[in-house]
Structure 1
Amino acid sequence: MIAASVADYLGDRFSVAGELTSLTLGIAVALAVLGVGANLVWRQLRYLVTTVHEMGHVVVGWFVGRTIQSVRLNHDTSGLTITHGRQTGPGIFLLYLAGYPAPSIAGFAVLWAVIYQHAGWAMFLSLIMLLVCLGLVRNVFGAFIVLLQLAALSALWIWNDPRVLSAVLTLIGSVLSLGGLRACLDLLALQRRRGSKSSDAAVLAAHSPLGAVAWCYLFVVFSFGLLVVTAAMVVDQSAALG
């Protein structure tokens, strides 16, 4: 009896399609544009982008066979994923390649899920990602940031209102898509101004013929290109929304 009730409860949340309207979509995208464009708000939103960035390192690190030792999310919105494995070869290259594209890819995936009525699964996978991150994070501030995100999304998943779920996921997807591009532009500006030796771009430069600034430009081009694809998908499907 209890098992059946739990199964029904989870099934209701996995299967929720969401109820996205063109008005909700427009408001969510507008809020994301304003938030990512305003420096004060962007600093707060950057914690979400950094979380996804670090989880990009984690997922690819596992994929290439590296041991993930820890994740840190810092007060200045930077992050660090420490792994153990070979320091040369394609594995370390892919590890450092994964971070900056991750928010843009996640943003596209979330928006695709909402538009094509898979909001419940998008929320579930987001919660799994945050639980994994919580298990790996090793600093108090980082744990606090992840717990805040986890609490907010868990409350929405439990509440299970299709309209609210769609609205919040659309906002999150839009912030990740736009924020992924802004993070790459911020990296480019920092790399050109200070010539960082520890950024992902600098590490990639040490493992390839391209310089760090060139890698920054490639990150920008990728994020911008995926943003265009994401925007085209949203515009194309918005006419079918109520």
Structure 2
Amino acid sequence: MTTLGDLWHNVLNTQPDPPHLLVIVTGVVALLVITPHRVWALTRNAVTIAHEGGHALVGVLCGRRLRGIRLHSDTSGLTLSSGKPYGAGMVLSLFAGYVTPSLLGLAGAGLLGLGRITLLLWVSLVLLLAVLVMIRNVYGAVAVLVVGAVVFFVSWFASPAAQAAFAFAGVWFLLLGGVRPIGELQRLRSRGRAPDSDADQLARLTRIPGLFWVGLFGVVNVASLLLGGYLLVVPLLRSGV
């Protein structure tokens, strides 16, 4: 039986660089699961979990009191917090949602670049558990539990090769999947179907047009994709592939 010390050593230990083909294939797989609309309608739930978790985390760090998170079957979500309805804390909390998936992907790419595959999986579990504690509806709880169960199964039972494939695919998914919602947001806004979007709430708080905030979301997420993608393919570049 694995002792706690063995487990801790395994989590903190580094893993060898994966095969170059795995890095490329997992990127292609991630692109395939965010491109078709019907597949995206399912996989977008994972992006929504990160989105709402970002609102919650930054809100708490800014001194707001978190009241709960709700995730819906249409892949939308809602994070409720109490505090001043204005000021820097509210602005940062609203801004965090759309950029969190991409920033998590960038952080994950950094860990993978250091060979910390197991650490990445267990940090993901801790973050999912933190979100689960604040979920306030059945669908949301089921969605987080399903994602958490998959991550736990891979981290505990899968072979090192399977863990590497899952970790790289997950990071590529966050990096790529963080970009698509920005375009979807602006399409909804242009049709007048998202009057209370994060960008429009930011516009009302700051008196800076919502389009500016959408553009800023996009700049952060595209930059995260480019930098994260670079970190993931560095081993290939070093070897001349």
Fold in common (TM above 0.5): yes
* Partner Cα distance (2:189, 2:215) in 1: 10
Corresponding residue number in structure 2 for 1:158 = 156
> Which secondary structure state, in structure 2, belongs to the residue aligned with residue 196 of structure 1?
coil
> Which secondary structure state, in structure 2, belongs to the residue aligned with residue 99 of structure 1?
helix
* Partner Cα distance (2:56, 2:78) in 1: 10
41-50 or 4-13, which moves further after superposition? 4-13
Structure 1 residue 17: deviation in Å? 2.2
Corresponding residue number in structure 2 for 1:232 = 230
Contact 1:61 1:91 in 2 (8 A): yes
* Partner Cα distance (2:212, 2:48) in 1: 22
Amino acid aligned to 1:140: V
Corresponding residue number in structure 2 for 1:17 = 15
Corresponding residue number in structure 2 for 1:56 = 54
Q: 1:88 to 1:139 in 2, by over 3 A?
A: same
> Which secondary structure state, in structure 2, belongs to the residue aligned with residue 106 of structure 1?
helix
* Partner Cα distance (1:34, 1:181) in 2: 14
* Partner Cα distance (1:127, 1:139) in 2: 20
Structure 1 residue 6: deviation in Å? 2.1
Corresponding residue number in structure 2 for 1:72 = 70
The one of 168, 186, 189 aligned to 1:188: 186
Amino acid aligned to 2:114: Y
Corresponding residue number in structure 1 for 2:87 = 89
How many equivalent pairs are there?
240
TM-score, reference length from structure 1: 0.93
> Which secondary structure state, in structure 2, belongs to the residue aligned with residue 144 of structure 1?
helix
146-155 or 220-229, which moves further after superposition? 220-229
CA RMSD of aligned residues (A): 1.8
1:122-137 matches, cutoff 5 A: 122-137=120-135
Structure 1 residue 19: deviation in Å? 4.7
Corresponding residue number in structure 1 for 2:214 = 216
Contact 1:178 1:227 in 2 (8 A): yes
User: Does 1:174 find its partner at 2:172?
Assistant: yes
Corresponding residue number in structure 2 for 1:204 = 202
Contact 1:191 1:213 in 2 (8 A): no
Structure 1 residue 16: deviation in Å? 4.8
Amino acid aligned to 2:201: V
Contact 1:18 1:119 in 2 (8 A): no
Amino acid aligned to 1:45: T
Query: Could you give the per-residue CA deviations for residues 6-29 of structure 1, whole angstroms, max 9, x where no partner exists?
Result: 222332234252552111111100
The one of 95, 107, 110 aligned to 2:108: 110
TM-score, reference length from structure 2: 0.93
Structure 1 residue 231: deviation in Å? 2.2
Amino acid aligned to 2:139: F
Amino acid aligned to 1:89: G
Query: Could you give the per-residue CA deviations for residues 127-146 of structure 1, whole angstroms, max 9, x where no partner exists?
Result: 01110111000110000000
Moved over 3 A (4+): 239-242
Corresponding residue number in structure 2 for 1:146 = 144
Contact 2:104 2:174 in 1 (8 A): yes
> For structure 1, which runs of at least 5 residues remain unmatched after alignment?
none
Contact 2:14 2:114 in 1 (8 A): no
Structure 1 residue 195: deviation in Å? 5.1
> Which secondary structure state, in structure 1, belongs to the residue aligned with residue 3 of structure 2?
helix
> Which secondary structure state, in structure 2, belongs to the residue aligned with residue 86 of structure 1?
coil
75-84 or 211-220, which moves further after superposition? 211-220
Structure 1 residue 106: deviation in Å? 0.7
> Which secondary structure state, in structure 1, belongs to the residue aligned with residue 167 of structure 2?
helix
Structure 1 residue 147: deviation in Å? 0.4
